[in-house]
Amino acid sequence: MKGYDAIVVGAGPAGATAALAMANKGLKVLVVERGPTVGSKNMFGGMVSHCPVVEELVPGFWEQAPWERHVVKRTLTVLSEAAATSIVFESENFDRQPYNGYTLFRPIFDRWYARKAVDAGATLLAGCLAEDVVLQNASITGIRIGRGKGQVHAPITILCDGVLSLLARRLGLSKPAEARNVALGVKALFRLKEEEINERFGLLRRQGASQEFLGCTEGIRGGGFVYTQTETLSVGLVVHLDSLKESRKAPYDLFQRFLTREPVRKLLKEARLVEYSAHVLPEGGYRLVPQLSAGGLLLAGDAAGLCYTNGLNQEGMNLAMTSGFLAAETAIDAFEKGNFSEKQLAGYEARLKESFVLKDMRTFGAAEELMHNDRLFSVYPNLVGTIMEQLYRSDGRPKRGMGRVAWDAARNSLPLKHLIADALKGGGSLI
């Protein structure tokens, strides 16, 4: 197979961004995608935040992109055994362009986005697995495909092949994923008429809503979600793999019980199940970002571990696209200098550190540790339910102040030392 200027492994948001940015500069780019079609391997149940770099690549990007809804309403619901407490945030500012966030149907969006890279001159090879890299003088000079029988050569390769990137692991850039550092996402897609979704979530036009759930995983570390698309609802759970393993519960059974919880069941009334899917997600945060470059090689997106939670929601797709863009900029600089050495490509990490990507991951690094506190998913949801029920209950007896109700409920739920330790740790993760 003929040689290229650059090879991109994976045609997701990071890979498509990298390919498009390099093709725009006239580089001969090959994109290798293991799925039979772009987007066929994706499991995505959320939203993408506004990402300025894509506007640089495609002016009017979000006016063209096949997004589903722009999100104006965010809801956090804490579930106890018999109660639900919700905090709703809705902003008129999020209803004005440029919109703050969008829900997507990834198979459609990814195909559209990859086509932008192809239109710019990139070559897309779908249904093709990159099985290994080609090494020459301690530098990566291409990949092996077709059960190792074929080779494609390029002075630089960008790996965008997901959290379980086999090539990055084979090169020793990342370690085998440990159960405590990855999560399992299980999602179902339900079809519902557009007008029903708008009425059920209190939306107009193409407005969208997201709803996250805490306390819905039966003590397993994790949470649930519902996101609105135009005529579908993405509903799912994300659970820490080690906690799921310790529970000895089947993810399918756990998910089915989540669907029967009253707040979820109401949202899904008369909705028709379309499909199930599952996927693993990086959960290690900043501390587990691997080595990002080597001679002739860069890592972007989930392959680089660029995903984090800030305690309220998870960010990943905008980080993936930005990292793909910065990887492309690094590759373009390398071509201008004719230098693809490890030292030259180390500038990629410097670019990420200057951007919001690694700054945000560092900022919310403590939140990753907070998410490993089992009490957050068992004791505290029930505590919230107990407090709210006592505050609203009317039984003919004198009512107590909110502070006294909360203190007594907390004291009866867990030892004081745990309460103080969790308060300090929780507060520290938000600073």
pLDDT of residue 312: 62
Task: Say if 6-67+105-175+290-354 and 181-282 have the same CATH topology.
Answer: no
pLDDT of residue 45: 59
pTM: 0.89
pLDDT of residue 148: 59
Q: Please determine, looking at this structure, whether the domain spanning 181-282 carries the CATH number 3.40.50.620.
A: no
pLDDT of residue 415: 80
Report the distance separating Cα 196 and Cα 272, nearest Å.
13
pLDDT of residue 393: 82
Return the domain boundaries, the chain. Answer: 6-67+105-175+290-354, 181-282, 369-430
Which residue has 């965010």 as its token pair?
74
Centre a 10 Å sphere on the Cβ of residue 259 and count the other Cβ atoms it contains. Answer: 17
| CA neighbor of 323 nearest in space, from 283, 365, 271, 359 | 359
Report the distance separating Cα 83 and Cα 70, nearest Å.
30
Under a CB-based contact definition with an 8 Å cutoff, are residues 327 and 158 in contact? yes
Block mean pLDDT (10 aa), the chain, length 431: 86 96 97 88 72 91 93 95 93 90 90 96 93 89 82 95 85 78 89 96 95 94 94 93 93 95 96 89 79 95 82 79 97 96 96 93 74 82 87 82 80 76 62 54
Angle in degrees, CA 418, 423, 424, rounded to 5: 100
> What CATH number is given for 6-67+105-175+290-354 in this structure?
3.50.50.60
pLDDT of residue 327: 98
Size (the chain), residues: 431
Report the distance separating Cα 235 and Cα 226, nearest Å.
5
Could you tell me the CA-to-CA distances from 57 to 21, 25, 48, 333, 384 in Å, in that order? Answer: 6, 11, 17, 17, 46
Show the beta-strand stretches assigned E in 12-105.
Answer: 29-33, 47-49, 69-79, 84-90, 101-103
pLDDT of residue 278: 85
| CA neighbor of 180 nearest in space, from 286, 303, 284, 314 | 284
pLDDT of residue 102: 93
pLDDT of residue 24: 96
Under a CB-based contact definition with an 8 Å cutoff, are residues 410 and 419 in contact? yes
CA torsion, ordered 8, 12, 17, 18, to nearest 10 deg: -20
pLDDT of residue 339: 96
Kind of pairing between the strands at 207-214 and 6-9:
unpaired
Q: What are residue 380's phi and psi, to 5 degrees?
A: -70, -40
